Amino acid sequence: MFIRRQLLLVAGALAVAATVPHARAQEETVKIGLIVPMTGGQASTGRQIDNAIKLYMQQKGDTVAGKKIEIILRDDAAVPDNTKRMAQELIVNEKVNVIAGFGVTPAALAAAPLATQAKVPEIVMAAGTSIITERSPYIVRTSFTLAQSSTIIGDWAVKNGIKKVATLTSDYAPGNDALASFKEHFVAGGGEIVEEVKVPLANPDFAPFLQRMKDSKPDAMFVFVPAGQGGNFMKQYAERGLDKSGIKVIGPGDVMDDDLLNNMGDAALGAVTAHLYSAAHPSQINKEFVAAYKKAFNNRPGFMAVGGYDGIHLIYEALKKTGGDATGDKLIAAMKGMKWESPRGPISIDPETRDIVQNIYIRKVEKVDGELYNVEFATFEAVKDPGKTKK
């Protein structure tokens, strides 16, 4: 009995001793919980973000404002239940100062209440639905919103002699978002939607829908399909001879993601999309970014990589501003209104909505040095999220 009590005491003392240096170490490190899909259909999103963050930390070092930055990577496979569980675990057990990543909208939303409760900043690096930043005062976004690119392509289309458009969008939240914002701006500008088709998300064959597009004889077709289906879509578009009948493809740039573009083949040539980033963006800072990324990972960075790169940059800069103080409220206050030059161009964080303000570029797919690129030819400067400004 006596021995047991003594043992307990010893154990207790050990436990206390173990926690003390741990607590001290924590003051010196800032932990970032990175929750992204590394497996499953959205894996390329997670990989790009993870790569970009590794690259950034390689370039800028892993200490900022006297603090060591530690990334804890978790794979949620884009399942929101996982995201929530992992966010909770990271906040409670690992005591992370920031949670980041979030490949899809439902994942970002699942973590939002936790960010609010724990007062931990949630940096959204990928998901693109407007409402996300409204779900918690601790959410900051460094990716984009679909409304940003879809409204711009709508405006651009009207101004450039496209009068009749047929739309083909995948029937899920981002697709419907893209369609609604495009339609609003295109119709307001005097354009006409001659055909509207929503394609089921798990769609094996685009043939009948494309035939319908062809028969409605529009000037252009507005397309939004999940990134992975873009290639199939463009191939069938060319197979059906829509390219030859003069029907252009326009849309938000997700379809022409740099990650996949080069595998789509020449069918993609000439597609005009509006988006925040192209690997062919002609700035010095982007050239260096693309070169470094290619060298490190043997692949071209896409817009998801840029979202991650800017996300970690934002955390670094906010820490510099607070002098290493990683409390949630201080970090969020520091992030609001922050401006910097990203590989995608000049961007800032809107102090009111904590959402990203960025240039949207109109690009056309062209062949550069034997590879397909989105070549930018028009710029809409400092676009705020139209999904919110209209309220």
Site residues (CB under 8 A) for other proteins?
A: 39-41, 43-44, 197-198, 200, 202-205, 207-209, 211-212, 215, 228-229, 231-232, 235-236, 238-241, 259-260, 263-265
Q: Which residue, 120 or 234, has its beta carbon nearer to other proteins? A: 234
- Nearest distance, CB of residue 195 and other proteins, angstroms: 9
* Number of C-beta neighbours around residue 284 at 10 A: 9
Write out the two tokens for 177: 């978002």
- Nearest distance, CB of residue 238 and other proteins, angstroms: 7
- Nearest distance, CB of residue 52 and other proteins, angstroms: 17
Q: Which residue, 271 or 315, has its beta carbon nearer to other proteins? A: 271
Dihedral angle sign, alpha carbons of residues 134, 85, 83, 310: positive
Write out the two tokens for 298: 């043997």
Q: Which residue, 241 or 351, has its beta carbon nearer to other proteins? A: 241
Q: Which residue, 139 or 365, has its beta carbon nearer to other proteins? A: 365
Q: Which residue, 226 or 324, has its beta carbon nearer to other proteins? A: 226
Closest by Cα among 283, 284, 276 to 302? 276
Closest by Cα among 156, 364, 361, 378 to 270? 364
Q: Which residue, 239 or 329, has its beta carbon nearer to other proteins? A: 239
Written in H, E and C, the secondary structure of 38-49 is: CCCCCHHHHHHH
Closest by Cα among 225, 222, 221, 219 to 205? 225
- Nearest distance, CB of residue 293 and other proteins, angstroms: 17
- Nearest distance, CB of residue 9 and other proteins, angstroms: 49
Q: Which residue, 179 or 264, has its beta carbon nearer to other proteins? A: 264
- Nearest distance, CB of residue 208 and other proteins, angstroms: 4
- Nearest distance, CB of residue 48 and other proteins, angstroms: 11
Q: Which residue, 163 or 235, has its beta carbon nearer to other proteins? A: 235
Closest by Cα among 227, 212, 213 to 178? 227
Give the integer Cα–Cα distance in Å for 284 and 95.
38
Whole-number Cα distances in Å, 299 to 73, 106, 290, 305 = 21, 28, 9, 11
Residues in the chain: 391
Angle 95-98-103 from CA coordinates, rounded to 5°: 120
Residues contacting 215, CB < 8 A, separation 6+: none
DSSP type of residue 338: -
